[in-house]
């Protein structure tokens, strides 16, 4: 979920509560506060704790809350994971360490230390935002044997790699790319950790339910309804486009924190056109 900000660049907690309620009404099955789309790198420790606490309290156990709690510092990731556990989250999303390029042995040790906290973990495999090749299927399988490693957000963009993971172990896989939800779910994946659901949650939920029901034709129809909008969400770095789109829809103020900058004027028409075509403006 995005983190809304006030005109004074403070976290807008009242708006955040409103968005949580909207997601629940629209059929979202889980919320990730303080993920990359929520601009977690730009939040202070105090804001991170309050954002997670606000979401947990507003959700009130109606759906799952999986807090973003990753770091390239293992001690910090453990600390954030303990915080999420203490605040009552159902689990944490933990990204592979970025910039410092650990080996596969280092990745295993990093996530094992986090798993020892005692809260379910969704591994977040996204080499594109991190240095190095990401988690190997062998390391994922080794981690999947740990009781608290429950699932993986698979964001390599490779359906082949999702197949490789499923061949190596039976960890629950969620797509990390909106455009790959159908292929990942067709291989046994259980859903998507979505960007586009920030502005069209009902449609994403309908797509996942259709796949769960074995209605490929219905899911494919929804996929094509979503596809154009999904693609324009990456005309600039996420979450710049989705923050702009939601602002155009009147869902929140058009505000981001540095180093994220507002959408370039030349991209506004592209996003507005996709929103209009989808009936969201």
List residues with catalytic annotation. 124, 153
**Contact indicator for 245, 233 with CB cutoff of 8 Å:** yes
How far, in Å, CA of 169 to CA of 143, rounded? 10
Which residues fall within 8 angstroms of residue 101, CB to CB, at 6 or more apart? 131, 132
A 10 A CB-CB count for 9 gives 11
What is the phi/psi pair of residue 261, to 5°?
A: -120, 160
- Of 33, 65, 63, residue with least CA distance to 50: 33
**Contact indicator for 252, 220 with CB cutoff of 8 Å:** no
How far, in Å, CA of 15 to CA of 96, rounded? 30
- 81 is written with which tokens? 């994971």
For residues 85-119, one letter each, b for 16 or more C-beta atoms within 10 angstroms of the residue's C-beta and e for the rest, the string is: bebebbbbbbbbbbeeebebeebbebbeebbebeb
How far, in Å, CA of 94 to CA of 129, rounded? 13
């Amino acid at each position: 979920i995005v983190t809304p900000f006030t005109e004074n660049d403070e976290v807008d907690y009242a708006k955040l509560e409103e968005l949580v309620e909207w997601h629940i009404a629209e059929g979202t099955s889980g919320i990730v506060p303080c993920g990359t789309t929520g601009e977690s790198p730009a939040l202070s420790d105090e804001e991170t704790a309050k954002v997670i606490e606000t979401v947990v309290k507003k959700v009130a156990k109606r759906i799952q809350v999986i807090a973003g709690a990753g770091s390239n510092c293992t001690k910090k990731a453990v600390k954030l994971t303990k915080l999420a556990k203490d605040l009552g989250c159902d689990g944490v999303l933990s990204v592979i360490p970025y910039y410092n390029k650990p080996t596969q042995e280092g990745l295993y040790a990093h996530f094992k230390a986090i798993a020892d906290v005692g809260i379910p973990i969704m591994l977040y495999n996204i080499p594109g935002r991190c240095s190095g090749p990401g988690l190997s299927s062998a390391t994922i399988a080794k981690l999947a044997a740990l009781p608290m490693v429950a699932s993986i957000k698979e964001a390599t963009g490779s359906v082949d790699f999702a197949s490789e993971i499923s061949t190596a172990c039976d960890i629950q896989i969620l797509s990390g790319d909106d455009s790959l939800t159908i292929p990942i779910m067709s291989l046994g994946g259980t859903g998507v950790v979505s960007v586009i659901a920030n502005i069209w949650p009902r449609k994403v939920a309908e797509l996942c339910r259709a796949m769960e029901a074995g209605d490929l034709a219905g899911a494919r129809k929804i996929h094509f309804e979503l596809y154009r909008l999904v693609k324009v969400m990456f005309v600039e770095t996420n979450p710049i486009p989705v923050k702009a789109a939601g602002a155009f829809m009147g869902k929140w103020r058009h505000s981001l924190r540095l180093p994220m900058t507002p959408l370039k004027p030349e991209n506004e028409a592209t996003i507005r056109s996709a929103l209009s075509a989808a009936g969201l403006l």
